[in-house]
Amino acid sequence: MFYPAKGNIAFKKDGWSGSVSMWCKTDSDKLLKTKFCDPVQITQKGANNGGLWFDFNDAKPRDLRHGAFSMIPDGQKGIGEDDPKAPMVRVSGIGWKANDWHHVVLTFKNLDTGKPDALTAIYIDGKLIGEVKDRAIAMGWDIEKAGIYIAINYIGLLDEFALFDKALTGEEVSHLHKNPELLSPLKKKAALENPPASTAITSEEVPRGLKNFYRKTARPDGSF
């Protein structure tokens, strides 16, 4: 499933912030069949070329990973996912089971500022798991071409997918985890305004509908 980034992501070429929130229900070792699986990936050119995402890799048992990879300038080689300096957070052997729902939030702050002040973080079930920080992270997107890719080779359930135009604080993430019904009024309003729609939420709590386009493979190496 693909949604356009334009109008749904608060991208600015001189600096921006945001968050993604979603609930997932899957068995990370029994249900997922492909080498990699991304519940969400935001990119123009690929996961490791201006990409924000979390995925399950091909380890046994599978790891859950969050990546925040800068755009690769023309003529240069990007950093690999196995590099110790890669902009990633890894959760070894995540071990999710099919009967359990899990809340995942990605936050990103000060992207595309040109300064080593960027910070991205992943929260699982209301708790901070890890951060990518103290470096410059630049997506460098053509916002007309960037997209939000959901459920790339994912088998399971997803719910309460929401976008925010700010980096949620740890307190806000915890509050949202404990009170998922907070999004319900906004979802109903978005559905009335743009049926069928997903929900994108600004800091002023104004929803924007997401038009359902098409499912597309985003990872550049063709592994999906």
**How crowded is residue 175: how many other Cβ atoms within 10 Å of its Cβ?**
13
Name the residue type at position 213.
F
pLDDT tens digits for 151-200? Answer: 999 999 999 999 999 999 999 999 999 998 888 776 666 665 655 444 44
pLDDT at position 200 is: 41
pLDDT tens digits for 137-152? Answer: 999 999 999 999 999 9
Please state the domain extents for the chain: 2-209
pLDDT tens digits for 98-117? Answer: 999 999 999 999 999 999 99
CATH for the 2-209 domain, from 2.30.30, 3.10.590, 1.20.120, 2.60.120: 2.60.120
Rg of the chain (C-alpha set)? 16
The answer to whether the pTM exceeds 0.75 is: yes
Cα–Cα–Cα angle for 132, 52, 5, nearest 5°?
A: 140
> Which class for 221: exposed (0-12), middle (13-18), buried (19 or more C-beta within 10 A)?
exposed
Residue 205 scores a pLDDT above 70:
no
